[in-house]
């Protein structure tokens, strides 16, 4: 692991780091905020997964999480959204696929299967890097994210309930296997057998028997992607059908931007802190 930068903030340290990833077969960049409480004891870890076109930088610059994370004693880990590099296959004119659009899955189709293994990267590889290099209490982990990243958070939590104690989402893509801006990516990454897509779709996972203790979701009513891409009602229906607790807050007048995310960030951090005590 190499340190790109560090800066003191609210008594803690905001850092940016790189390492050679085996899962993604390239160098990966990630950000970590370590709160001041970590000087005395390991702290709980909260993973934030970003959305389409984003990197670790977006939430680090616009998410406004450090003050509350410092008060609550939470380590915040912000990975990148995809592999990157000269030899990583990409569609440069397609913001919904390739670099910046890894969808937190493990691709099975060439040429993407070599690099686009973001599920394994988030679940298996990067946690080992965090445990080895930061004062992290890895027995107390939560996960949340935005849009594509919220899709990733929901699916990862459903498949790893023994690891994650809490999961929340800002404007999640709730059924990516049928949404217009994600279905083409699923076909390119995973092939044309839609049965394989279900492993990376929150509503399908719930239908197939996967469970989590509770979800918190915030969604803006003025979100331009609400009806075609996000469709929170599908998640509500899936959770209701099996009795899975879901708090779905429809936030009047809010859009899909970081103005929306930063407005409700403190509430999500407090919610996670309660579950991670």
**Residue 218, domain CATH:** 3.40.50.1820
> 26 vs 21, 83, 103, 115, CA distance in Å?
6, 7, 17, 7
Phi and psi angles of residue 195, each rounded to the nearest 5 degrees, phi first: -60, -30
- Choosing from 21, 82, 147, 166, the catalytic residue is 147
Strand 164-170, strand 43-49: pairing: unpaired
Q: Which residues of the chain have pLDDT under 70?
A: none
Number of domains in the chain: 1
256 a catalytic residue: yes
Boundaries of domain holding 13: 2-276
- Choosing from 56, 256, 268, 272, the catalytic residue is 256
pLDDT tens per residue, range 243-270: 999 999 999 999 999 999 999 999 999 9
- Choosing from 146, 223, 268, 272, the catalytic residue is 223
DSSP reduced 3-state for 51: coil
27 a catalytic residue: no
pLDDT of residue 103: 98
21 a catalytic residue: no
Mean pLDDT score across all residues of the chain: 98
pLDDT of residue 253: 98
């Amino acid at each position: 692991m190499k340190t790109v930068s560090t800066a003191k903030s609210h008594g803690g340290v905001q850092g940016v780091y790189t390492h050679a990833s085996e899962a993604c077969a390239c160098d990966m960049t990630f950000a970590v905020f370590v709160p001041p409480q970590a000087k005395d004891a390991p702290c709980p870890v909260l993973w934030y997964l970003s959305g389409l076109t984003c990197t670790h930088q977006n939430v680090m610059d616009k998410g406004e999480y450090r003050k509350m994370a410092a008060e609550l004693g939470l380590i915040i880990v912000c990975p990148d959204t995809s592999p990157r590099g000269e030899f990583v296959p990409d569609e440069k004119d397609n913001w919904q696929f390739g670099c910046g659009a890894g969808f937190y899955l493990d691709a099975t189709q060439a040429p993407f299967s070599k690099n686009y293994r973001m599920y394994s990267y988030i679940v298996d590889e990067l946690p080992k890097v965090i445990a080895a290099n930061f004062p992290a209490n890895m027995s107390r982990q939560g996960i949340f994210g935005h849009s594509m990243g919220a899709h990733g958070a929901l699916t990862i939590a459903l498949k790893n309930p023994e690891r994650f104690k809490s999961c929340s989402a800002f404007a999640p893509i709730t059924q990516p296997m049928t949404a217009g801006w994600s279905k083409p990516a699923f076909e390119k990454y995973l092939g044309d057998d839609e049965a394989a897509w279900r492993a990376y779709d929150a509503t399908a996972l719930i239908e197939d028997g996967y469970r989590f203790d509770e979800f918190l979701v915030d969604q803006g009513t003025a979100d331009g992607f609400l009806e075609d891409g996000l469709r929170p009602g599908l998640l509500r229906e899936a959770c209701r059908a099996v009795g899975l607790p879901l708090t779905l807050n429809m936030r009047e007048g809010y859009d899909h931007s970081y103005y929306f995310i930063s407005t409700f960030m403190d509430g999500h951090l407090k919610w996670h802190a309660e579950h991670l005590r």
